[in-house]
Chains A and B, each alone.
Chain A
Amino acid sequence: MIIPLARKILIHDWRRFLPAMFAVALSGVLLLMQTALVFGILGATAVYMRESNAQVWVGYPGTQTIELGRPIPVTAQTALLADPGVARVEPFAWFNGDWQGPPRAGGVSVFVSGVSTEPNALMFSRVLTPAQRALLDQPFTILVDRAELAKLGLPIGGRALLNGRLVKLVGVASGISAFGGVNVVASLATARALDGSSGGAEVEYYVAELKHGANAAAVAARVNREARGYSAWTAASFARNAVLYWMFQTAAGVSAIFLAAVVFVVGAVITSQTLMGAITGSINEYATLHALGVGLRPLRRVVLEQSAWIGACGLVIGVVISLGLLGLAQAQGVPADINLAVWLMCAALVMGIALVSGTAAVRVLRKADPASLLR
């Protein structure tokens, strides 16, 4: 087209289109932020995978999330070690504990993690220092996240009953808070002693560090081929399963989708109204073009192109606002988790809002009846 009509109108009447651009941008921001927050909050369920240096996890078959783990046979460890891609294997015990803290602290749901106390252990390798691990070498000692101290009502050095046994809080770490309860980290030996249900040697998980260059998915697939009574996953897929499980278990996913639909509709309504207003304002000009022989199809394309530009501008505005808000969230310690897929999904939804609006607004062009110019 030798005269880019859509763009010319958009630039000349930018004030008229600005509300639509912001509607589209804010729709995108809302979609992005709510997704980031949902993933950020639910991301706590994947803290075990995220903060550990293990690439492959082995647990009870079909386990969706760490809380649903069951003891698995010790043969899992030998099977893992037999794999050519595996460098080392570490047991990891996990169970739901019965916590009796100081009076008036109220009931607290605690999750007990039994981890290796070796200085270079895999579990929580990103958040626990060797010194902190060494503290756990003493029997019946525990660590919790700094943020949980208030919830437990316990100072460092304080004691409480865990599964009926007296334990001592010997330190705090940061980055080990759990989703829906308090994570208590103990040594494997302490965990075994505390866990009444497990019959001694069995643990719920084995985690493996791979040799340099080994592919986690390939190792997991190989282990699964021979697995009896246990199952292997890559750390990434186990983490993803956990987030998705809680997303739909807690209705967070459903409400996120519902809110997304509302945002989509509101954004599309505002944008299409703006476009319709713009078309109506120029309806005689469009009718004149139609009289001069320009078909309705090319005129529709003008409107759709305008909506695409509104989407593109809204996208840019939205990205800027989102980056600002994500920065703010990070500065305030609000959990927000975002990845490329979410960015792309929100971008697609934003363009979808714009194009759906354009398609809706195109109807107004039917009023561009050139015969109405002759009266």
Chain B
Amino acid sequence: MSALLASNLYKSYASGKLRIDVLRGLSIAVEAGRLTLIEGPSGCGKSTLLSILSGLQRPDAGSVTALGQDLWRGDNDAVDRFRLQHTGFVFQGFNLFSALSALEQVMLPLGYMGMTRAEAIDRSQAALVEVGLGDRIDSRPAELSGGEKQRVAIARALAKRPQLLFADEPTSALDAASGQVVIDILRRVAHEHDTTVLCVSHDPRLVSHADRVLGMEDGVILNDRKMQSVSGPEKDGNVS
């Protein structure tokens, strides 16, 4: 059973007098416990697809079933609630509040989930340790490198313990080493927490670490490759 199931998605944008059909009847199924990657040329609609699958943007037509729930059936408040409960995001930008320490950035969404302070601190510390920032919990964004900031952003998404984790070009703003750290984290999250990780990227290293790569072009999925991962042998049994 797929964690994320979309069928017949349509989405177009009006750009002046022009209408751009970005998604044309796209269907996709994404399994839990894997790192699934979408790649494709610029402008082919990858980010648009991700925003529809993750509950950020309503499709013109078609349906998304996320964790067995018809995602776009309810109103926006219902979709907000679904995201609060179940989804995490990692964007290309880090989008951290300059006023907050790493720990506070991670705790912030947990507070809105109704968690107690003690619980939020525990979870946030654990998430920061998981991304290798256990010793930087008091640092503000101004004191962190780009890679460290992205790891805080990942920790912010992970601390929610989401079943669904979406990432749009998470490594494109990072150098090779930081990119590798982020890739490892995403992979580990998928395999160890049984999280559905859906990632959009051009990064060839990410491609080689994914469990499955979907090739997208012109608003449809063209090819679907199940990968035999080169790293993380202990979890390779999960794939295929």
Contact = CB atoms under 8 A, between A and B. Distances in A.
A-B pairs, 9 with minimum CB distance: A293-B84, A12-B99, A293-B83, A2-B111, A288-B95, A374-B47, A371-B57, A2-B117, A284-B95
Nearest to A374: B47
A9 interface: yes
Given A3-B111, A373-B89, A374-B56, 19 more contacts: A5-B97, A8-B99, A282-B97, A289-B108, A289-B109, A289-B112, A290-B80, A291-B91, A292-B84, A292-B87, A292-B89, A293-B80, A293-B87, A295-B81, A295-B84, A371-B51, A373-B93, A373-B168, A374-B50
A293 B82 contact: yes
A189 to B, nearest CB: 78
Given A1-B111, A374-B51, A291 B99 contact: no
A293 B81 contact: yes
Nearest to B141: A285
B120 A285 contact: no
B111 A288 contact: no
B110 interface: yes
A9 B99 contact: yes
Interface string A1-45: 111010011011100000000000000000000000000000000
A291 B108 contact: no
A2 B120 contact: yes
A291 B168 CA distance: 13
A294 interface: yes
A373 B110 CA distance: 21
Contacts of A370: 51, 56, 89
Given A287-B95, A370-B56, A2 B50 contact: no
A298 interface: yes
A-side interface mostly: helix
B187 interface: no
Contacts of A294: 80, 84, 109, 112
A331 to B, nearest CB: 43
Contact of B100 (A1, A3, A290, A375): A3
Contact of B156 (A292, A296, A298, A375): A292
A2 B47 contact: no
B145 interface: no
A373 B99 CA distance: 20
Interface of A: 1-3, 5, 8-9, 11-13, 282, 284-285, 287-296, 298, 370-371, 373-375
Interface of B: 47-48, 50-51, 54, 56-57, 77, 80-85, 87-89, 91-93, 95-100, 104, 107-113, 115-117, 120, 153, 156-157, 160, 168
Contact of A291 (B77, B89, B100, B110): B89
Contacts of A296: 80
B80 A295 contact: yes
26 contacts: A1-B111, A2-B111, A2-B115, A2-B116, A3-B100, A5-B97, A5-B99, A8-B104, A9-B97, A13-B99, A285-B95, A287-B95, A288-B153, A289-B108, A289-B109, A289-B112, A292-B87, A292-B160, A293-B82, A293-B113, A294-B80, A296-B80, A370-B89, A373-B92, A374-B48, A374-B56
Contacts of B109: 289, 292-294
Nearest to B162: A292
A371 to B, nearest CB: 4
B99 to A, nearest CB: 3
Given A3-B107, A298-B112, A373-B93, A11 B99 contact: yes
A284 to B, nearest CB: 4
A373 B95 contact: yes
B179 to A, nearest CB: 19
Contacts of A8: 97, 99-100, 104
Contacts of A289: 108-109, 112
Contacts of B56: 291, 370-371, 374
A373 B50 CA distance: 11
Contact of A292 (B57, B83, B93, B120): B83
Nearest to A296: B80
A345 B50 CA distance: 53
